[in-house]
Amino acid sequence: MKTLRILSALLTYPDADLLAALPEFVPVLEREAWLPASERKALAGLINTLAASDPIEAQERYILLFDRTRSLSLHLFEHVHGESRDRGQAMVDLIKLYEDGGFTPTTKELPDFLPLFLEFASTRQPEEARDLIQQPLQVMAALRERLAKRGAIYLPVFDALLALARVKPDAAMLERLLAEPDPEPDDLEALDAAWEEEEVRFGPAAGSDGCGHDSLASKLRQARRPAPGLATPDPASLRPAVTTSTALRR
């Protein structure tokens, strides 16, 4: 499903490859028509905005939003496990899920990086892809609300993901996520404090809800256990992000 590959690409760092690929996106979205017309129109607006942006300004905007502010991190487990040891096991389980699906990432990003997760989902059949998108729904909904508060241009991507999920996020879980610190990128003191916060925990029953401490990881692993000796990725190995130059040709 090329629509998911496009959504994945739009959430990656706007390097030269991404900017060069932008003219391909709108025709593919219209031809595949997997999204409602309103979401396709909003995505076309985002694509046009990126295409008209100065590359340096587009890159600075991306960094300020997604790389500097923990509350807008595109690493899914950041919002569930923080820096706890549970995050390492969740990473291992997610790598195993990718391997079992015959998916070999060509990036050094951590496996819970949302664009990478969406690229994996794009290799699945439509119903399985939709099920995958539903699993981190609470996190994506929280990201959507925080982007809306900032009037960020990336809002249409999350509107599209919520539309594809076809289910509503759990209101209580979303409220708890949104209660976490959400500093502005120029408030350095608040940013430092936010990065030191403990991981999100939703009480003793959190493991059985839609966005609790163990739920996201357990859903993504789909009852698969990690292979013995499988290494956890090095958190320092970030960027380059998902490759976009061939995203629509595979």
| 149 token code pair | 């508060």
pLDDT of res. 191: 44
User: What's the average pLDDT block by block, 10 residues per block, for the chain (250 residues)?
Assistant: 96 96 97 96 98 96 90 87 63 89 84 95 94 93 94 97 93 86 56 46 38 44 35 38 48
pLDDT of res. 198: 45
pLDDT of res. 240: 37
Distance from C-alpha of 126 to C-alpha of 180, rounded to nearest angstrom: 33
**Amino acid letter, 155:** L
pLDDT of res. 23: 96
Q: How far is CA 240 from the centre of its chain?
A: 15
pLDDT of res. 145: 95
Per DSSP, 237 falls in state -
pLDDT of res. 219: 43
pLDDT of res. 105: 80
pTM: 0.76
In sequence order, the β-bridge partners of residue 113 are: 75
pLDDT of res. 190: 41
Angle between helices 2-10 and 114-121 (to 10 degrees): 170
pLDDT of res. 179: 83
pLDDT of res. 148: 95
Q: How far is CA 216 from the centre of its chain?
A: 13
Torsion of CA 233, 107, 223, 227, to 10 degrees: -50
Angle between helices 171-178 and 137-150 (to 10 degrees): 50
DSSP-derived 3-state class of residue 250: coil
Angle between helices 155-165 and 2-10 (to 10 degrees): 150
pLDDT of res. 186: 55
Cβ contact 48:159 at 8 Å: no
Q: How far, CA to CA in Å, does 192 sit from each of 64, 109, 142, 200, 208? A: 14, 23, 20, 17, 31
**Amino acid letter, 202:** F
pLDDT of res. 85: 59
CA angle 199-205-208, nearest 5°?
A: 90
Distance from C-alpha of 152 to C-alpha of 8, rounded to nearest angstrom: 17
pLDDT of res. 69: 82
Angle between helices 126-134 and 137-150 (to 10 degrees): 70
